[in-house]
Amino acid sequence: MQFLLMLYVDEAGWPKLSKEQQQQGMAAYNAYSEELEQAGVLKAQNSLQPSSKAKNIRIADGKLRVLDGPFAESKEQIGGFYLIDVADLDAAIEWASRCPTVGHGVVELRAIGRSS
């Protein structure tokens, strides 16, 4: 089963960290990514540009609307993701619980595809 791990973080926190703290943070994510890859469960991963660069696209009153910035004001934004392929939900939860984000943000876990 494939699962998407969406990493919610406070974007404003990263620039406040020292260079050393940023390097430690990146090392933790690199180690986690390597662990997923070595286990053969990693399908895709990446970080996202800041939410201030987001575009919201919708049709309103029959017209295309493209708005700048995030849709909702919130403390945390999606900063990145992992797409994994594991045996079941329990395995996905186990991997999500090991993600560095759980120490300073939230990992939202969703199965890929339609539910039956």
Question: What's the CATH number where 52 sits?
Answer: 3.30.70.1060
Range of the domain at 78: 2-111
Domain membership flag for residue 83: yes
Q: How many domains does the chain have?
A: 1
- 116 located within any domain: no
If you average pLDDT over every residue of the chain, what do you get? 92
What is the amino acid identity at position 48? L
Strand 77-85 relative to strand 42-47: parallel, antiparallel, unpaired?
antiparallel
* CA dist., res. 10 & res. 13, Å (int): 6
CA distance 44 to 60: 33
- Give a yes or no: residue 56 inside a domain: yes
Residue 16 lies in a domain: yes
- Residue of 94 and 58 predicted with greater confidence: 94
27-46 pLDDT tens trace: 999 999 999 999 999 999 99
Q: Give domain status of residue 26, yes or no.
A: yes
Residue 53 backbone phi and psi in degrees, to 5: -95, 5
Report yes or no on 58 lying in a domain.
yes
| 76 band by pLDDT with thresholds 50, 70 and 90 | confident
pLDDT recorded at residue 71: 63
Query: Is 15 inside a domain boundary?
Result: yes
